[in-house]
C-alpha cells in the first residue's frame, strides 16, 4: 500500500478541459508534419493543462509498449481470457485519460474476446490498428526501462500512523492498473484533503485492511488472482471490515456486473471512463454518509452508556429506599414492615416481644438522647444474646423489640 499526500486543484472533467492557462505544459516543440507529435499534443490537451494528470498520462505512455507486447503474445497464443484481460486493462487506463484512439481499439478487442466464439482474425485486425497508433508515438515518450508494478504498499505508509489520525478521511484505492491508481489518486488529492492509500491487488488489501480502517474503498472489479467481487465478499464477511463502504470502479458496463456489485455489498458503481466531477461527488457523498453513520453510532453508544448509568442509578436509589423502608433509622435493625414481610414466607415461627417498662418516663426525666442510648444498648445486648442462633431481631416500636 502507498500513502500519498494532498493538494488542492481542479474539479473539471479533463475531457471538457480545464479553464486554466497552461504553464509550460509537458509537450515538446513539434513539426506540423509530424503526425505522432500532433497526436500526443492532442492527447495532452485532454489533460486541460493539469500537470499532475499530464504526468500520469506520460507514465502511462511509458508502460504502453510493455502492455502492447503482452497483448500481442496473448493474441498469438489465442487465449481469449488473457486477451480480454489485457485489452480491458489498456482500455481502462487510457479511457480515463481521454485517449480515445487507444481506448476505442482496446474496447473492440475486449468486447470481441468476451464472446464464447470470438473471431481471432477480427481481434488481430483491431490489434494491428492499435499497434499502428502506438507506432506513431515518438520514442522519447515511451522510453521506459521499468515495467514492474510498485509494491502493494510502502514502508512510509506503514509508519505514517494513519490508524490513529482522525482529522482526515482515508480512501483506499484498489486497482491492479498502476495508471488507474495514479489517476484516481491525483484527482482526489487535487480536489480534497483526504488521505489516500493505494493497493495493487485484492490479496494485498486483506493483509493490511484491519490496521488502517479506511473510510471508503474504491475497488476495481477486473483484477488477476482475486477480483473485486471476491475482495468485497471477504471484507463483508469480516466483522471488523464489513461496515467499510465499497464503491466499485470498473470499465465493465453490463447490467449483470452492476447487480452483482450491489449484491456483494457495494454501495455504488462508477463506470470507466468516468467524469471527474461525478467521481468526486460520489466519493464525497459516501464519505459524508459514512461520517454521519459514525456520528450516529457514537451517539447511540453514548445514549446506551447513559441509559445503563441511569438504570444503575435507579436500581441503587430503589435499593436504598427499600432499605430505608424496612430499616429502623436509630438501630439500623429490621423494622415492623420487614417483620410483616418475613412472616408471609415463614412456615412456622415463635415470636418473642421485648418491651421496656415505663420507657416514656425515662424519656421525660432524662431526655430523648438518653432514651436513644438505652434503646441502642438494649438492642446490642439482645443481638449478642441471639448471636449464632437462627433468631432474628426486629425493632418494632420506640421501646419494643421482637
Same domain, 173 and 130: no
* Residues in Cβ contact with 84 at an 8 Å cutoff, skipping those fewer than 6 apart: 109, 110, 113, 114
Domain-located, residue 55: yes
pLDDT tens string 175-197: 988 888 888 998 898 888 899 99
Q: Check pLDDT > 70 for residue 14.
A: no
Please give the torsion angle defined by the CA atoms of residues 13, 17, 21 and 25, in that order, rounded to the nearest 10 degrees: 90
Higher pLDDT, 173 or 168: 173
Q: Check pLDDT > 80 for residue 304.
A: yes
Domain-located, residue 381: yes
Same domain, 137 and 165: no
Q: What domain count does the chain have?
A: 3
Same domain, 231 and 289: yes
Give me 80's grid cell. Answer: 481469449
Q: For residues 372 and 320, what is the distance between their CA atoms, to the nearest angstrom?
A: 24
Same domain, 256 and 371: no
CATH number at residue 253: 3.40.50.2300
Q: Which residues pair with 354 in a beta bridge?
A: 401
pLDDT tens string 77-115: 888 888 888 888 888 888 877 788 888 888 888 888 888
Same domain, 387 and 341: yes
> What's the whole-number mean pLDDT along residues 306-320?
86
Same domain, 137 and 164: no
For 379, the domain range is 336-401
Same domain, 130 and 178: no
Same domain, 135 and 163: no
Percent of the chain at pLDDT > 70 equals: 85
Domain-located, residue 313: no
Same domain, 162 and 272: yes
Q: What is the pTM of this model?
A: 0.61
The DSSP secondary structure of 316-342, one letter per residue, reads HHHHHHHHHHTB-TTT--BBHHHHHHH
Same domain, 131 and 17: yes
Give me 160's grid cell. Answer: 505514517
> What's the whole-number mean pLDDT along residues 283-302?
89
CATH number at residue 46: 1.20.120.160
Q: Where are the beta strands (DSSP E) in 273-314?
A: none
> What's the whole-number mean pLDDT along residues 62-91?
86
Task: Give the strands of the sheet with 400-401, arranged side by side.
Answer: 354-355, 400-401, 395-397
Omega of the bond prior to 332 within 30 degrees of 0, cis? no
Domain-located, residue 370: yes
Domain-located, residue 260: yes
> What pLDDT score does 360 carry?
76
Q: Are 335 and 396 in contact (CB under 8 A)?
A: yes
Residue 354 backbone phi and psi in degrees, to 5: -120, 125
Same domain, 229 and 350: no
Domain-located, residue 3: no
> What pLDDT score does 143 carry?
67
> What pLDDT score does 16 carry?
36
Round the average pLDDT of the chain to a whole number and report it. Answer: 79
Q: Are 114 and 84 in contact (CB under 8 A)?
A: yes
Q: DSSP assignment, residue 30?
A: -
> What's the whole-number mean pLDDT along residues 7-16?
40
Q: Which residues pair with 173 in a beta bridge?
A: 198, 218
Residue 82 class from Cβ within 10 Å (0-12 exposed, 13-18 middle, 19+ buried)? Answer: middle
Domain-located, residue 379: yes
Q: Check pLDDT > 80 for residue 206.
A: yes
Domain-located, residue 220: yes
Same domain, 42 and 64: yes
Higher pLDDT, 227 or 29: 227
pLDDT tens string 221-278: 988 889 999 999 999 999 999 999 999 988 777 788 888 889 988 999 888 888 888 9
Higher pLDDT, 5 or 358: 358
Amino acid at each position: 500500500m502507498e500513502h500519498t499526500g494532498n493538494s488542492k486543484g481542479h474539479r473539471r472533467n479533463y475531457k471538457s478541459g480545464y479553464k486554466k492557462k497552461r504553464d509550460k505544459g509537458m509537450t515538446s516543440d513539434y513539426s506540423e508534419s509530424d503526425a505522432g507529435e500532433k497526436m500526443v499534443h492532442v492527447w495532452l490537451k485532454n489533460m486541460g493543462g493539469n500537470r499532475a494528470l499530464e504526468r500520469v498520462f506520460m507514465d502511462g505512455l511509458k508502460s504502453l509498449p510493455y502492455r502492447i507486447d503482452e497483448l500481442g503474445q496473448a493474441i498469438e497464443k489465442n487465449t481469449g481470457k488473457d486477451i480480454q484481460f489485457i485489452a480491458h486493462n489498456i482500455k481502462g487506463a487510457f479511457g480515463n485519460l481521454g485517449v480515445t484512439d487507444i481506448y476505442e481499439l482496446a474496447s473492440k478487442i475486449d468486447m470481441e474476446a468476451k464472446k464464447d466464439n470470438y473471431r481471432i482474425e477480427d481481434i488481430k485486425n483491431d490489434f494491428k490498428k492499435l499497434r499502428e497508433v502506438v507506432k506513431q508515438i515518438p520514442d522519447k515518450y515511451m522510453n521506459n526501462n521499468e515495467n514492474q508494478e510498485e509494491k502493494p504498499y510502502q514502508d512510509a505508509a506503514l509508519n505514517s500512523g494513519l490508524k490513529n489520525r482522525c482529522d482526515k478521511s482515508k480512501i483506499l484505492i484498489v486497482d491492479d492498473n498502476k495508471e488507474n491508481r495514479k489517476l484516481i489518486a491525483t484527482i482526489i488529492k487535487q480536489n480534497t484533503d483526504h488521505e489516500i492509500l493505494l493497493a495493487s491487488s485484492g490479496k494485498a488489501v486483506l493483509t493490511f485492511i484491519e490496521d488502517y480502517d479506511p473510510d471508503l474503498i474504491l475497488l476495481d472489479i477486473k483484477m488477476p488472482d482475486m477480483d473485486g467481487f471476491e475482495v468485497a465478499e471477504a471484507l463483508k464477511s469480516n466483522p471488523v471490515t464489513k461496515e467499510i463502504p465499497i464503491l466499485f470502479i470498473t470499465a465493465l458496463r453490463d447490467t449483470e456486473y452492476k447487480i452483482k456489485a450491489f449484491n456483494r455489498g457495494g454501495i455504488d458503481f462508477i463506470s470507466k471512463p468516468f467524469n471527474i466531477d461525478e467521481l468526486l461527488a460520489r466519493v464525497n457523498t459516501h464519505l459524508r454518509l459514512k461520517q454521519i453513520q459514525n456520528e450516529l453510532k457514537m451517539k447511540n453508544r453514548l445514549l446506551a452508556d447513559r441509559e445503563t448509568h441511569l438504570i444503575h442509578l435507579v436500581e441503587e436509589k430503589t435499593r436504598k429506599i427499600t432499605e430505608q423502608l424496612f430499616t429502623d433509622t436509630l438501630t439500623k435493625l429490621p423494622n415492623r414492615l420487614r417483620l410483616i414481610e418475613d412472616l408471609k414466607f415463614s412456615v412456622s415461627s415463635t415470636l418473642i416481644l421485648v418491651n421496656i417498662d415505663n420507657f416514656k418516663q425515662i424519656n421525660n426525666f432524662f431526655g430523648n438522647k438518653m432514651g436513644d442510648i438505652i434503646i441502642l444498648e438494649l438492642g446490642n445486648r439482645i443481638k449478642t444474646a441471639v448471636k449464632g442462633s437462627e433468631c432474628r431481631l426486629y425493632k418494632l416500636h420506640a421501646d419494643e423489640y421482637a
